[in-house]
Amino acid sequence: MVLGMHRSGTSMLANLLADAGLFLGHKTQPGHQEAEFFQRLNIYVLQEGSAAWDRPDGVDDLLADQRTRDYLIDYMKTSVDSPRAVNFLGPSRWLRTRSLTGFTDPWGWKDPRTTLLWPLWLEVFPQAKVIHVTRHGVDVARSLQVRTDASIDEYVDAYQRRRQLYRLVGRRRRFEPSLRVADIDAGLALWEVYVAAAHEAVEALGERAVEFRYEDFLADPDPIMHRLLDFCELEPTPDRSWADEVLGSRAFAHRGDAGLVAVAERHRDRLARHGYNDA
C-alpha cells in the first residue's frame, strides 16, 4: 500500500508503478492517478478540523482531540469496508472482496492530503507502507502558483462573460483553487508543512517506508524503481530500464529562471532543512 505521495512531480512515478501492476483505483483524477474515493474521505476529515489541503492549521487540533479522532477513525474504517468502496475497487474487484481490508492484490492510493492525516490512516490500515517523494520546494511552489494563476484567469473571464446575467441571478460557482499558493513564498511554506509531516511518517514506520528525492529519481531511475517494485511486492523486471521514460530536464526546473533562483536563495535555510542544500 502506498500513502500520500506529493502531487507535483509524482504523477509520472505513479503511472510507472501502475504499469508495473500496482492498483491505484478504479476512478482516479485524470493525469494524476489520484483516487476519488480517498480524496473525498480526506477532504471530509480535513473539514472536520476546519482545515483544507492548503490550510492545514486545524489538523493538529483534530489529531489532539481524542473524541473527534476516535469518531473519524471509526468512520474511515466503516467507509473502506462499505459498498461505497466500489468507487475505488470497481465493480468486479468489489464483488470479489466486498471491502478494501479484504483486497489482497498490490494496491495503494495517491493523494497529498494523506500526508497530513497519516496518523489516522495508520489506525485504519496498521500494516500500511508509505512512499514519500520530495521535490525541490521552489519547483513545487512555482507549479502550484502557475496552476492557480491560470485558474484565476479562467474564473474571472467566465465571470466577465456572464456579468450581465448576475444582475438577475446570484452567482453560484465558487473558486476552488487555493489563493494562498498564488504567492510563491506562501506556497513554499506550505511545502515545508507537507515535507515535515511526511518525514515524521517515514521515521515512525522505519522499514515500512521509502523516501527519496524526485531529482535523484530523474537522474538515475533504475535502482529506485527496482527498490519500489520490491517494496510494493510487484513482479521484478531485471532487464528493464526506465531511463528513457523519465524527463531528466524536469529536475531543478527553477534554475532556469533568475527570479526563482532568488526565491531559492531567500529560503536557503528552509530548503536545507529538508535535504536541499543545492538550492
Provide the strand spans (E) within the chain.
Answer: 28-29, 34-35, 130-134, 209-213
DSSP reduced 3-state for 201: helix
Number of domains comprising the chain: 1
Looking at residue 220, its amino acid is D
Is it the case that residue 5 has pLDDT exceeding 50?
no
279 belongs to a structural domain: no
25 belongs to a structural domain: yes
6 belongs to a structural domain: no
pLDDT, tens digit, 9 for 90 and up, residues 51-94: 999 999 999 999 999 999 999 999 999 999 999 999 999 999 99
Question: If DSSP states are collapsed to H, E and C, what string results for 127-160?
Answer: CCCEEEEECCHHHHHHHHHHHHHHHHHHHHHHHH
131 bridge partner residues? 210
Range(s) of the domain holding residue 100: 11-272
Chain centre to alpha carbon of residue 278: 24
pTM recorded for the entire structure: 0.92
Torsion of CA 53, 54, 59, 60, to 10 degrees: 140
3 belongs to a structural domain: no
d(CA 93, CA 71): 28
Is it the case that residue 189 has pLDDT exceeding 90?
yes
- pLDDT for res 113: 95
- pLDDT for res 248: 78
Long-range contacts of 51-54 (CB under 8 A, 24+ apart): 51/116, 52/178, 53/112, 53/113, 53/116, 53/178, 54/178, 54/180, 54/181, 54/190
Percent of the chain with pLDDT over 90: 79
171 belongs to a structural domain: yes
139 belongs to a structural domain: yes
**Cβ within 8 Å of residue 226, ≥6 positions away:** 236, 237, 238
4 belongs to a structural domain: no
With cut-offs at 50, 70 and 90, classify the pLDDT of residue 250: confident
Is it the case that residue 2 has pLDDT exceeding 80?
no
